[in-house]
C-alpha cells in the first residue's frame, strides 16, 4: 500500500545544509520512498513522504509510523534533558528554611528524570532510530527553557510545575500517536510517566498552597 504523509523535523538546522542527511536518513529507515520538501523555515523541514506503508521493523511496527514516533520521542528527550538540568540547579542553589526538605526532594526528582532520559533514548533505539545526544540539539528543540540562578523555593517549585505541564502535554500527544500506531511499548511508558507526574503536580501544588 502507498501512503503519503507530511513529515516535519527540527532535528537539524535548515541553514546548515542538512537536507540531504535527513533524506538519506529517511530512506534508510523507510526503505524505498519518494521525498519532496514542500516547505522550509529557519529551523524545520516539512517533507512530503510517499512510502510503502506495509514495511515493518524488527518489532513488527510499521516503519513509517516509527519515524514519527521516534521524532516525537526525541523531542521529549530534549525536554527531559533541560528539565533535568533545571532541577539539578535548584538542588544545588536552593536556600532558606526549607533547604533540607527541598534539596532532598529535588535530588529525588532529577534522579528520576535521569532514569526517564535513559528509558526514552532506549525506546527510540528499540524503534530502530537514533536518540539525539547533544545539548546543542536539546536547547534548539526543547520547549522547556533553561532556568538558572534560582535559590528561592517557591520560584523553583513554580518552574517545576510549569515544566511538568509541558512534559504532560507532550506525553499525552505521544501516547495518542503510539496508540494509533499500535505501539503498546511507547504507550505504556507514557502512561506511567503521565500517572506519576500528575500526582507530583498535586503534591507540588499543595506545597505552594497557603489555604
Ligand atoms: Fe547533591
Task: Tell me what pLDDT residue 27 has.
Answer: 61
Average pLDDT over residues 24-37: 60
CA–CA separation, 193 and 168 (whole Å): 8
CA of 186 to the centre of ligand 1 (A): 31
CA of 52 to the centre of ligand 1 (A): 50
Check if the beta carbon of residue 89 is closer than 8 Å to that of residue 151.
Answer: no
CA of 91 to the centre of ligand 1 (A): 7
Of 154, 181, 147, 151, the C-alpha closest to 68 is 181
Task: Tell me what pLDDT residue 30 has.
Answer: 61
CA of 5 to the centre of ligand 1 (A): 46
Task: Tell me what pLDDT residue 15 has.
Answer: 40
Average pLDDT of every residue of the chain: 87
What confidence tens digit (pLDDT) does each residue in 176-208 have? 999 999 999 999 999 999 999 999 999 999 999
Q: How confident is the model at residue 63 (pLDDT cuts 50, 70, 90)?
A: confident
CA of 162 to the centre of ligand 1 (A): 23
CA of 110 to the centre of ligand 1 (A): 10
Of 185, 181, 190, 189, the C-alpha closest to 64 is 181
Q: Percentage of the chain with pLDDT > 90?
A: 68
In this predicted structure, the answer to whether residue 56 has a pLDDT above a threshold of 90 is: no
Average pLDDT over residues 56-62: 88
Give the number of other CB atoms < 10 A from CB of residue 149: 7
CA of 56 to the centre of ligand 1 (A): 45
CA of 193 to the centre of ligand 1 (A): 24
Higher pLDDT, 94 or 26: 94
In this predicted structure, the answer to whether residue 10 has a pLDDT above a threshold of 70 is: no
In this predicted structure, the answer to whether residue 123 has a pLDDT above a threshold of 70 is: yes
Q: At what angle do helices 63-93 and 153-180 cross, to 10 degrees?
A: 170
CA of 167 to the centre of ligand 1 (A): 24
CA of 99 to the centre of ligand 1 (A): 12
Q: Which residue has the cell 504523509?
A: 5
Task: Tell me what pLDDT residue 132 has.
Answer: 96
Task: Tell me what pLDDT residue 64 has.
Answer: 78
In this predicted structure, the answer to whether residue 17 has a pLDDT above a threshold of 50 is: no
CA of 69 to the centre of ligand 1 (A): 34
CA of 89 to the centre of ligand 1 (A): 10
CA of 164 to the centre of ligand 1 (A): 22
Task: Tell me what pLDDT residue 152 has.
Answer: 97
Higher pLDDT, 63 or 149: 149
Q: How confident is the model at residue 38 (pLDDT cuts 50, 70, 90)?
A: low
Amino acid at each position: 500500500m502507498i501512503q503519503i504523509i507530511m513529515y516535519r523535523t527540527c532535528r537539524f538546522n535548515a541553514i546548515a545544509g542538512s537536507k540531504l542527511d535527513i533524506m538519506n536518513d529517511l530512506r534508510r529507515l523507510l526503505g524505498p520512498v519518494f521525498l519532496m520538501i514542500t516547505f522550509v523555515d529557519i529551523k524545520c523541514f516539512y517533507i512530503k513522504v510517499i512510502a510503502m506503508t506495509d514495511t515493518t521493523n524488527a518489532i513488527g511496527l510499521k516503519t513509517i509510523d516509527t519515524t514519527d514516533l521516534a521524532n516525537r520521542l526525541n523531542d521529549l528527550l530534549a525536554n527531559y534533558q533541560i528539565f533535568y538540568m533545571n532541577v539539578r540547579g535548584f538542588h544545588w542553589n536552593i536556600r532558606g528554611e526549607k533547604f533540607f526538605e527541598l534539596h532532598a526532594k529535588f535530588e529525588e526528582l532529577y534522579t528520576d528524570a535521569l532514569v526517564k532520559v535513559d528509558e526514552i533514548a532506549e525506546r527510540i533505539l528499540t524503534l530502530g532510530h537514533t536518540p539525539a545526544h547533544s545539548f546543542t540539539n536539546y536547547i534548539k528543540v526543547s520547549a522547556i527553557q533553561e532556568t538558572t540562578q534560582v535559590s528561592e523555593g517557591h520560584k523553583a517549585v513554580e518552574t517545576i510545575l510549569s515544566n511538568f505541564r509541558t512534559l504532560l502535554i507532550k506525553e499525552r500527544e505521544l501516547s495518542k500517536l503510539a496508540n494509533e500506531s499500535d505501539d503498546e511499548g511507547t504507550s505504556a511508558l507514557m502512561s506511567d510517566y503521565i500517572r506519576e507526574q500528575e500526582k507530583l503536580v498535586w503534591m507540588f501544588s499543595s506545597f505552594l498552597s497557603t489555604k
